[in-house]
Amino acid sequence: MEGGGVGVEAQATVWSHILSLVDSFVLKCAIKLDVIDIIHRRGRPVPASELAASLPVPCASPSALRRIMRYLSHMRLIAIQYPDGGDEAEELYALTPASRFLLKKEEKSLVPFALMQTDEEMLEPLHALELCLGGEPAYKKVKGGSVWERASRDAAFNELFNRAMACNTALVADGMVEGCRAALAGVRSLVDVGGGTGTAARAIAAAFPHLRCVVFDLPHVVDSMQKRPGLEYVGGDMFASVPHADAVLLKSVLHDWSDEECLRILKRCKEALPGKGGKLIIVDIVVDDEREHEFARARMATDMLMMVYTGGRERTKKEWNQLVLGAGFASCKIKPIMAMEQMIEAST
């Protein structure tokens, strides 16, 4: 048996994991109560009583609000201040560097992703994670169909899903644009395969105005999205064919699929590119044994989510190389960008 200090540390580790689900729901509560945006709109630290009076629901329990805010402070999503330097004074609540990613109207807000991930539709399959050992995603076994099928017939879920994907793309857009400058030199056209609402294509079109940019996704996705000037929109099936272009972008697409399905997608992409000099740009997560990396836990968590929801996976550098070269591309280069994802470049 482990001794004193080590045993306590081990207990603390297990308790932390058992209770970590509370983080997600306190965060969801903060979003529903609008607390981050209220503090932001004030432009200064907000007293507890003022925050309570500003909430979208009546606050009959100041104690409950203080406890929620205390937990958010522990999560480093808000900061608690005491105006007179003592803990007997009324608490003031201020924002932290992480708060900016939870402002609802900010371009790089992660609120839509948080709301999707804590929606009952996405939580139920997590209770059956062990079903993934049978070879199919737990979502399909629990719900009787795929995430894509659900989105195609449920407009509300389709909007929830697309907004979550768009917010993730907006977050990575700056790093993606900067990372692909060299790859897009001399390129005249680009197709964003699985481009969703076109967030990635808009960022690229803005940075490279000479490019003809096409957003390519399933017909129900294209039909439901708001069309933006400067972009072309095409509905179709990436497993069947991809619109021709000088460059293909796959942003957070391949991690949704098995290796066999990814090879089919990549081969369709290769067919859409020029025989020589065509560019493939993949923006996706790369997982390696980097336990101390700031994104390590989030990357591993998304691997679990892919297994549960789509049957896909996050891949190591070696696996990405095998996949890209196995599809017939001439080269494969992986480089970090300022995001949880990395950039994988290949050419024909």
Please tell me what DSSP assigns to residue 87.
Answer: T
User: Cα 279–284–286 angle (5° rounding)?
Assistant: 115
Task: Please state whether beta strands 331-336 and 279-284 pair in parallel, antiparallel, or not at all (unpaired).
Answer: unpaired
Residue 232, H or E segment: strand 231-235
Only one residue has tokens 């609540």, namely 93
17-46 burial, b at 16+ Cβ within 10 Å, e below that, comes to eeeeeeeeebbbebbebbbbbbbbebeebb
d(CA 60, CA 276) in angstroms, rounded, equals 68
Q: Cβ contacts of residue 195 below 8 Å, gap of 6+?
A: 201, 215, 216, 217, 249, 251
Q: Is 255 a catalytic residue?
A: yes
Q: Catalytic: which of 40, 210, 255, 293?
A: 255
Write the DSSP string, 249-283: EEES-GGGS-HHHHHHHHHHHHHHS-TTT-EEEEE
Going by C-alpha positions, the residue among 265, 285, 282, 237 that lies closest to residue 328 is: 265
CB atoms within 10 A of CB 337: 17
Paired strand residues for 233: 215
Contact 147, 161 (CB under 8 A): yes
Q: Which residues are catalytic?
A: 255
